[in-house]
Amino acid sequence: MATDQVTTKKLRQPKQADTFCSRETLIKIMLLVSSKKCAEWREQLDGLSDNYVINQLAIQIGWLIGYLSHLEKRPPDETQYFEYGLPLIHLYRKYVYKMMESYASAVHKQQAAQQQHENQEAEALLKEIHYLAEKTHAQRPPLSTDFQKHIIKAQADIEKILIELMMQKYSIKIMLMSLFYFWFTLDAPLHTDDPETIEDKDAFLYMGAVIEIIKNTVRSLPNPKFTSEIKALNEKMQLLKIHLPNPEELDKAPDNIEQQTAHINTAIHSVTSEMIKQNIHPEAVAIALFSHWMRLSVFFGVSESDWQKMDYYFSDIMKSVRDYVRSI
């Protein structure tokens, strides 16, 4: 009781008319502290609007006004606390809020410039990779059959679509799954005694077994000697990985997974359908799909040198996989 009397007596004393420092000094102090804390505050907001801070500040001030008014046993509109609280909100909006907004704009501008630079580097790398890929293809024995020409045509057309999807930051994991699906649905009926039994099967049920067949086949074969162009291609592909999400991020489903899946499936289906309409042999299209499916595995733990070995022994791998498909 004695404590309540002392507290009430103090509250009834004349209110302080002057601030502890001048308005100009207070603003300088706020600007000094705010400038040092902007980055930390932006990180703590974690994507929330700056208005969130203003709202929280208003809530806290409102709570204090209500609490102190309760101690005085007077309605808030009959005290002078609003006269203290409202100018504080105004001061925050005028200086700190604008500073945080400017800081956020500067950070976004810097991030946009960095992203543009990374995109330009990635685009340049993709062009170099395409050039080196063409050189390595040129080193192979001359094409002697129309079927071989069909394979090269199919590989080039599918590669073009995949590069476009990569540049749009589409999920490589979804591309990988899409390539396998369209390869299986196109190639499996061509290499089984009863195509109708394959049509109703879920392609992804067999992907694990196909991967194991590839691994076992590659392990059983000796390491080939690579040309300087192939080694350079390995290095460029390794650099390209820097501009793409790491494997852990690739395993996470994107927020717009349904939209990306539909877009990727449509793109790959369209290019393969168009090639078949142009009388490109369906088996050649299937080989190109399988080749690119294996190629994208480098983003999921397969090294560039392992991929080059897989590519070198592609015919052996394809034979082993088709033997498995016939057994399904």
Nearest Cα neighbor of 281 from 161, 153, 147, 162 is: 147
Nearest Cα neighbor of 50 from 13, 104, 126, 1 is: 104
pLDDT of residue 226: 77
The mean pLDDT of 25-38, rounded to a whole number, is: 62
pLDDT of residue 82: 62
pLDDT of residue 290: 96
Q: In Å, what is the CA distance from 314 to each residue of 57, 221, 287, 304, 311?
A: 65, 11, 10, 15, 5
pLDDT digits (tens, 9 = 90+) for 281-303: 999 999 999 999 998 888 887 88
pLDDT of residue 88: 65
> For residues 287 and 36, which has the higher predicted lDDT (pLDDT)?
287
289 and 198 in contact (C-beta within 8 Å)?
no
By the 10 Å C-beta count (0-12 exposed, 13-18 middle, 19+ buried), 292 is classed as: buried
pLDDT of residue 6: 46
186 and 286 in contact (C-beta within 8 Å)?
yes
pLDDT of residue 327: 84
pLDDT digits (tens, 9 = 90+) for 108-154: 777 777 777 777 777 888 788 777 777 776 667 766 788 888 998 99
pLDDT band at 36 (very low <50, low <70, confident <90, very high): low
Measured CA to CA, the distance from residue 268 to residue 175 in angstroms comes to: 9
Give, as one character, the DSSP assignment of residue 97: I
pLDDT band at 52 (very low <50, low <70, confident <90, very high): low
Nearest Cα neighbor of 300 from 256, 233, 253, 249 is: 249
Whether residue 199 is predicted with pLDDT greater than 90 in this model: the reply is no
Measured CA to CA, the distance from residue 156 to residue 270 in angstroms comes to: 14
The model carries a pTM of 0.58
pLDDT digits (tens, 9 = 90+) for 98-118: 666 666 676 677 777 777 777
pLDDT of residue 314: 93
pLDDT band at 1 (very low <50, low <70, confident <90, very high): very low
For the four alpha carbons of 28, 31, 35 and 37, in that order, the dihedral sign comes to positive
Measured CA to CA, the distance from residue 101 to residue 51 in angstroms comes to: 10
